[in-house]
A = this chain, B = another copy of it.
Amino acid sequence: MKLRIVFQQLGLVMLVMCFCMLLITAWAAWQLYAADKTEELYAIYGLLGTIGVGSFVGLIMWGWGRYAKKGGDGMLPAFDETLGRREALLLVALTWIVGAALSGLPYFLWWHFNDEHLVDAATRSGHEFASFASCYFEAMSGLTTTGSTVLSDISGVPQGLLLWRAMTHWLGGLGIVVLFVAVLPNLGVGGKRLFFVEAPGPQQQGVRPRIRETARILWLIYLFFTIIQVVLYKAFGLTWFEAVCHTFATLATGGFSTHNASIGYYNAEHIGVLNTWMIDFITVIFMILAGVNFGLYYHLARRRFKLIWKDPELRTYLAIIVGATMVVSAYLVGSTIQVTDGSTVEGTAPEAVRFGLFQVVSIQTTTGFGTANFNVWPFVPKMVLLMLMFVGASAGSTGGGIKVIRVLIGFRIMFAEIERIFRPSVVRPIRIAGSTISTELKQAVLVYILGIIVLWWLGSIVLMVLEPAGSLSYVSAATASAATLNNIGPGLEQVGAIENYGFFSSSSKMVMALLMALGRLEVYAILVLFTPSFWRSE
């Protein structure tokens, strides 16, 4: 294990994050002076403090790695060869684990500076950001695009921190797409074969230029969507600040909102009916887009429409959305729909479809935005949503969950296995988009699905054990574990759409932060860290 190379790259990641925080600090400073928003002062202190610590540590790590590479014993080979599989996995795991600590620091520092001067004694001790575990949870929830929050009053936090909070989504989402579409397949790690999209860019280059070229295209696509969505949001009544934050949260399938009522906040008279419907609609469309394999947009740019239309994962993904929406909406017709802002809406057919579609898309894409309090819905729509949590979005998207393609392959294997029992001589290869699924991939898919289920159970059980006896309901524990592991955000009952994760103990929060990282990095990158042979030098 070439630890120095890993640390050098990790230092670079930290410096990039510090640079992003610097941009946000500048914006917050402008808010403070131009718009006289005094509450931004301590947010700026928190951000600057973090930038100081982060850039100091980042520079040391980066410099050490560079020195080691260029000088040192003079024997280390160049970067391209040294960042092997194990180094890449370690770097990925550390990026999220250390990155969350760095991202959570502004929240923590804000509160601690703030505490001294601004907030009255009653508010002081009660704030969620008083504990670093809560800040770490919030930051991991951001970077993993989970969107579970510890905050009971989101709008009470300065906008500078809320923008950084939304940006952690955006960075995390971009990081995941680049990682799973550009980096890992080219390093031969993980589910390359799951993407069914040829690596974009010229094929005759080395590993590093190819990764860089693919990453560049992905980043442009991501930026393109970001700009479009921000402009659309602005056109239909959001402020620039709200538009940017919600766009970051949508495209990353994150789910952090700047309002306690999430997107349900815009289900209000002051916004107007047209804007309410359009904001819902824009959010739904961009959630769906964010849940698609980003490799497909590369084909789109090349006008390979047939390839896109025939993509089995895209078809299944859209079919599930349509089917689930029909089921959920059918249950909402005629009921009184409880909006997340506390108001109610009569369940006419159009409203039932609007709320049903929004929640189905929000959960299946693993965004986790809310317009309705689905915790009070009947059993069947709740179960549909719970199943969608596990199915998740497409591979190569910013969404989490098991991923549609794995579920699809899993079902095909199961049906093939049924036939095999009475017709063992007939071997039917399983094909996806024309190519046969190899035995290794089949096994990997089955193990992955099973692994997610096992981790879900373990997570639920550990939460039940860590929380005081009788304080956490079974359903809350099970859905908190499912919602964090699959990077959804909200669950049911005590972690329902209008609740938050603030009440959990610090140890439970760390466990859920681990579940988020496990789910986000498709388990293995985290799990290998606990494998002794991973650390053994070869």
Contact = CB atoms under 8 A, between A and B. Distances in A.
Contact of A465 (B380, B417, B447, B475): B380
Interface string A459-482: 001001100010000110000000
A422 B465 contact: no
A24 B527 CA distance: 58
Contacts of A533: 419, 423
B443 A531 contact: no
B422 A85 contact: yes
Interface stretch (A63-71, A103-111, A270-278, A448-456): A448-456
A443 B413 CA distance: 9
B380 A417 contact: no
Contacts of A85: 421-424
A443 B444 contact: no
A112 interface: no
A145 B189 CA distance: 47
Contacts of A442: 443
Interface string A507-518: 000000000000
A531 B428 CA distance: 15
Nearest to A86: B422
Interface size class of A (residues with CB under 8 A): 35 or more
A5 to B, nearest CB: 16
A439 interface: yes
A534 interface: yes
Nearest to A534: B422
A167 B411 CA distance: 39
B450 A528 contact: no
Given A424-B188, A524-B418, A443 B449 contact: no
A407 to B, nearest CB: 11
Contacts of A417: 443-444, 447, 451
Interface in A493-508: none
A421 B89 contact: yes
A15 to B, nearest CB: 27
Contacts of A464: 379, 383
Interface in A161-197: 188-190
A422 B461 CA distance: 29
A312 interface: no
Contacts of A422: 85-86, 89, 189, 524, 528, 531, 534
A157 interface: no
A419 B527 CA distance: 10
A414 interface: yes
Contacts of A237: none
Interface string A206-246: 00000000000000000000000000000000000000000
Contacts of A380: 465
Among A188, A443, A469: residue with most chain B CB under 10 A: A443
B446 A450 contact: yes
Nearest to A527: B418
A410 interface: yes
Contact of A446 (B378, B446, B475): B446
A107 B299 CA distance: 67
A2 to B, nearest CB: 14
A179 B423 CA distance: 19
Given A379-B469, A439-B443, A421 B453 contact: no
Contacts of A465: 379-380
Contacts of A439: 439, 443
Contacts of A444: 417
A86 B465 CA distance: 48
A525 B419 CA distance: 11
Closest 9 CB pairs of A and B: A446-B446, A421-B524, A417-B447, A86-B422, A85-B422, A422-B528, A439-B439, A379-B464, A418-B527
Interface of A: 85-86, 89, 188-190, 378-380, 383, 410, 413-414, 417-419, 421-424, 439, 442-444, 446-447, 449-451, 453-454, 461, 464-465, 469, 474-475, 524-525, 527-528, 531, 533-534
20 contacts: A85-B424, A86-B422, A89-B421, A89-B422, A189-B421, A189-B422, A378-B469, A379-B469, A383-B464, A414-B447, A417-B451, A418-B527, A418-B531, A419-B531, A421-B528, A422-B528, A439-B439, A439-B443, A443-B443, A446-B447
